[in-house]
Structure 1
Amino acid sequence: MRKITFILLVFVCNVNAQYVTTNTELSNAISAASAGTTIILKNQTWTNVQISINKIGTSANPITIKAETPGSVFFEGATNVKLGGSYIYFEGVVFQNPPASVSTGTPIIDFRTSSSSECNNCKVTNIKIDAFNQGTSQQTSVFKWILLRGSNNEISYSSFLGKHGVGSIINDNRDSSNPNYHKIHHNYFANRTPQGTSVVNDDNDQDAIRIGNSSTSLSNSFTEVYDNYFYNFVGEIEVISNKSGSNKYYNNTFEDYSGALTLRHGDNCEVFNNFFLANGKSFSGGIRIMGENHKIYNNYIQGTRAKYPNNSSTNGLAGINIHNGILNSPLNGYYQVKNTLIVNNTFIDCDLGIRVGATFSSSTQNQAPQDVVIGNNLMFENYTRAIQVTTQLTGTSSKYENNIKQNGVFDSFGSVTAAGNLSVSSGLLQAVGVLYKLPVNSPAIDYGSGIYTFLTNDVFGGIREVTFDAGAEEYGATGTIMPYTQTDVGIKVGFGASNTLSNNKEVIKKVGFKVYPVPTTDTLVVFSETTTIKFVKIFDISGKLLFETQANLKKIDIDIKHFSKGVYIVDADGYKSKFVVK
């Protein structure tokens, strides 16, 4: 017999909740806020809202400003949000319809209220910024949507749509060398167009995310960027611009995009388990590498093109592009690549798989990559070069080991240690849906070489065997992680996809929502005392939609006999709670 026990009850009231309907009421509520306060924004269009809150919440009792119903609160006109202090959460708001002239020096959201009051342990979640752009005449002025500062902050489950002009969408400028420990995850970045045109160009500051700057790039940030989805994103050569140390980029999907994930400055970063699906789009790559001690592994890279839209070539891109460095490079120059591992990546239909020693200026950018291992990579149908060597690797630890190609060309590896590199005519990969995977008897199976303690799973989340395969996939590992697609937006990533409750440990009732009995057997009842319920959805903990119904009823009975044991999320008209099936 199954029983349901609710972790959180949707009818719990918060005595610190304040419902506000005007800008003045909002300002007064912010002034009076203390740890544990929740400010609820009435469902309506709000004009010229300027929030500045500098308060101290706690982990157990944060201060929350949230939409009454996510997606039904709209901020328009001359609006901005400034967060200072600690444990401030901002949720559920849509930013749209900017004024004719935007103040480009003021971001939409800033994680500080003044130069001496940054926000720490703060969160912006479940918001949407929809084409909130400067006018045409201002496109060359830098307008950044979110300035991320402080430490231990989070930006999650949000959608950033239709950005144009110069300026990052999310920019942590790192004015100091203090570590940040930020988390940027489950966001949707879509439909960016470059400054002044729809064609990619060479103007800087047109990225989605930038972590750091040149002046503090040799210090560590410890930021993690994961489970984000970049779609139809065209700006500059850097979709993500890393300019600090010890950051991790993983489980992200890039689809129909130009540019690349770029380790521009900083050391000790990891890039793994990402899907790059360029689909033949011009000026597209996977990963660009500068700096030291990086690990690049388990990435699936398909359809990249190292050419401008006019078909002229660029030295800045490839599936993985390893740049030359500058001797005694300035902070804003090109640091030599050293002590870097590039292992177990898969390349499909890329004009250039891995390029070694890329340079924009052979006279100054002449320090070859040193002590770099390129091993266990698969190159499938790469029609120009599987591995292009424009500058030979240096250092006694450098080697090419157990890389396999089907079609394409390996350039000469010179005197660098090379062993086990194979060229096969067939059988390496096979199409499975939109992806290519290992078939039975693929030469990549059990062909991995080397000892890499970090190589525990494959790109699909399957567990690697002791005798592991070459490439990003481990044959037979049955991992279930797949690249994000458009059908995942609002379900797994982006605005509306959050499957967790607000950290104030409650869900504010709209008008008397109840779920009962608690515990129950076999049937879940969702009930509203006064209003009709428009929809109910149930998700598993990964965000997969399991049940959905639409009705204009006050009481909805749901048969859950077929549910397995585990944790689930019920969503009734936007109000969510976890429950357990036993």
Structure 2
Amino acid sequence: MNLKIYLTSLLIACTISGFTKDYKISSADELTALKLLPGDKVILKNGEWKNQQLVFKGNGTLKKPISLIADIGGQVFLTGTSSLKFEGACLVADGLSFKDGFTKGEDVITFSEKSVNCRLTNSSVVGYNPPDKAKEYTFTSLYGNRNRVDHCYFEGKTNRGPTLVVWLSDKPNYHQIDHNYFGPRPDIGGNGGETIRIGTSTWSFYDSFTKVDANIFAHCDGETEIVSVKSCKNTISNNLFFESVGTLTLRHGNNNEVFGNVFIGNKIANTGGIRVIGENHKVHHNYLQGLTGTGLRAAISVMDGLPNPILVSHWQVKNAEITANTIVDCKEAFSIGAGKNADRILAPQKVVITDNLVKADTNPVSWVDKAADVTFSGNMLDAKSAPQDLEKGFSLLDAKGSVAPSLDKSILKAKNIGPNWFKPVQAMVVK
């Protein structure tokens, strides 16, 4: 047997037997040169990686993913014009830190259309902004299918474009965004400052099945919409919105579910809750406290829609179920027909608002459009005395002191959120 045949046989045998390799690299070119196999691990040397366009290619498996990992989490600094792109299956990037730079126009981190079951974890993008704030790109873009962004830290985006975007195709993508810390983002003075956007108006009637779960959004003030849902069949659950000026908005699309989220406004101006547009949404078991927004930024806002709408329009609300939410000391609990004007004249239809608990000393319902078809039932108002015009479907709780549950006034702890090598915040005070 000659040497070539022997080496080929050895390579095949090693592959079959599950042999894997570790590579330690110091440049994007070295990464590009590798032919990675399932289970292989690429270790990035600690230090500054300046102007490195990392293209992470390969096809791992669910049991044997291919890893691109910092030698020490948080000690690999991608600066200058650096970026990262996933191209393949079952690829995991772990421990990377983007700072002190900006891209040439591409998104900082991209899961390509070829990416499947890829994951970004324990990583951060902080203040990675161009000098020209009108230049638009995102910190993270998810194309492909079944990708995950978890335990990451994003903060300080000042240029146009959402912090993180899920892009749709004609097939559901089933992405997951969980246990991330989204830190302060200043108001950009217009549209395009969302922290998360799922879809676009063009694709808004396609199913996404994206899950946004157990994240923290702290001081995310980029624009009116903190999380903007522009697609169908997504789940937004168990997130904390802390002193963020804006709302979780079901902007386009149908059949979305919002539950288990906590909104803490601490009486900061224009802090808002959940805004409902479209059909068949379910909003339940959320906790909203100390929000000052009204109308479109009420604790729960149900909008009017446009006749003969196009994809970018506000579509009429139909068949919404708003149940078992707790609203404590918010300026406006429910705004019905919010946004009604000379053009938006289609009132919400077949909306059920039931079994909610509101703590307030004013009427819990503000009617912007009294033509709305809304059924209130089984709701409770915790107040010192009943307003003269208490909405039908609300009962005054006859109890000494407040019976509405309140979060621990001392501290909300951010446990298991963000990278394991860096905790952007350990606690947040509920005032």
TM-score by length of 1: 0.66
Residue 6 (structure 2) pairs with residue 27 (structure 1): no
Task: Report if aligned partners of 1:165, 1:193 keep a CA contact under 8 Å in 2.
Answer: no
494, 498, 505: which one pairs with 2:418?
Answer: 494
**In the alignment, which residue of structure 2 is the partner of 1:158?**
152
Give 1:368's aligned residue. 347
Q: Is the 8 A contact 2:358 2:404 kept in 1?
A: no
Distance 2:53 2:200 in 1: 28
Q: Structure 1 residues 190, 420: closer, same or farther in 2, change over 3 A?
A: closer
Aligned to 2:429: none
Deviation of 1:28 (Å): 2.1
Offset of 1:256 from its aligned partner? 1.2
Give the superposition deviation at 1:177.
Answer: 2.6
Contact 2:152–2:418 (8 Å) recurs in 1: yes
- Residue of structure 2 aligned with 1:348, choices 328, 346, 371: 328
- Work out the CA distance in 2 between the residues paired with 1:50 and 1:411: 63
Aligned residue type for 2:110: D
Q: Is the 8 A contact 1:34 1:56 kept in 2?
A: yes
Q: Is the 8 A contact 1:386 1:409 kept in 2?
A: no
1:421 alignment counterpart:
395
Identity of aligned residues (%): 32
Q: Is the 8 A contact 1:389 1:411 kept in 2?
A: no
2:36 aligned with 1:40: no
Task: Provide the secondary structure at the position in 2 that maps to 1:46.
Answer: strand
Do residues 132 (structure 1) and 128 (structure 2) align? Answer: yes
Q: CA deviation at 1:77?
A: 0.8
SS of alignment partner, residue 26 of structure 1: helix
Describe the superposition over 1:45-80 as per-residue Cα deviations: whole angstroms up to 9, x where unpaired: 111111123322211222211111111111111101
Match of 1:216 among 199, 203, 216: 203
Q: Tell me, yes or no, if structure 1 residue 390 matches structure 2 residue 386.
A: no
Give the Cα–Cα distance (whole angstroms) in 1 for the partners of residues 174 and 196 of structure 2: 15
The counterpart of 1:81, out of the listed 80, 84, 90, is 84
| Aligned counterpart in structure 2 of residue 268 of structure 1, from 255, 258, 267 | 255
**Alpha-carbon separation, structure 1, partners of 2:57 and 2:186:** 35
Distance 1:382 1:256, change over 3 A: farther
2:305–2:317 Cα contact (<8 Å) kept = yes
Q: CA deviation at 1:305?
A: 1.2
SS of the equivalent of 2:115 reads strand
Q: Distance in 2 between matches of 1:410 and 1:218?
A: 43
Shift of 1:23: 3.7
Given candidates 296, 299, 307, the residue that maps to 1:327 is 307
Cα drift, residue 165 of structure 1:
2.3
Q: Distance in 1 between matches of 2:174 and 2:121?
A: 17
Question: 1:205 Cα deviation (Å)?
Answer: 1.3
Between the two proteins, the alignment pairs up a number of residues equal to 403
Amino acid at match of 1:376: D
Structure 1 equivalent of residue 379 of structure 2: 403
Normalising by structure 2, report the TM-score.
0.88
1:322–1:357 CA contact under 8 A, matched in 2? yes
State how far apart, in whole Å, the 2-side matches of 1:147 and 1:368 are.
Answer: 35
CA spacing shift, 1:411–1:47, aligned 2, 3 Å: farther
How far did residue 222 of structure 1 move?
0.6
Deviation of the 1:432 alpha carbon: 5.6
Residue 192 of structure 1: SS of its match in structure 2?
A: coil
Report the CA distance shift for 1:248/1:166 in structure 2 as closer, same or farther (over 3 A): same
Are positions 1:177 and 2:180 aligned together? no
SS at match of 1:25: helix
In structure 2, how many angstroms separate the alpha carbons of the residues matched to 1:244 and 1:411? 38
For 1:331 and 1:412, how far apart are their aligned partners in 2?
37
Deviation at 1:278, TM superposition (A): 0.9
Distance 1:168 1:78 in 2: 19
Query: Once structures 1 and 2 are overlaid, which stretch shifts more, 237-246 or 59-68?
Result: 59-68
In the alignment, the residues of structure 2 paired with residue 410 and residue 168 of structure 1 have an alpha-carbon distance, to the nearest angstrom, of: 44
Q: Which amino acid aligns with 1:250?
A: S
Gaps of 5+ in 2: 1-17, 423-431
State the alpha-carbon separation in 1 of the partners of residues 268 and 361 from structure 2.
Answer: 15
Give the whole-Å Cα distance in 2 for the aligned partners of 1:277 and 1:121. Answer: 34
What's the C-alpha RMSD, in Å, of the aligned pairs? 2.3
Superposition pairs of residues 252-291 of structure 1, within 5 angstroms: 252-291=239-278
Map of 2:74 onto structure 1: 71
Cα deviation for residue 213 of structure 1 reads 0.5
Cα contact 1:400–1:421 (8 A) shared by 2: no
Cα distance, 1:85 vs structure 2: 1.9
Which of 216, 219, 224 is matched with 1:237 structurally? 224
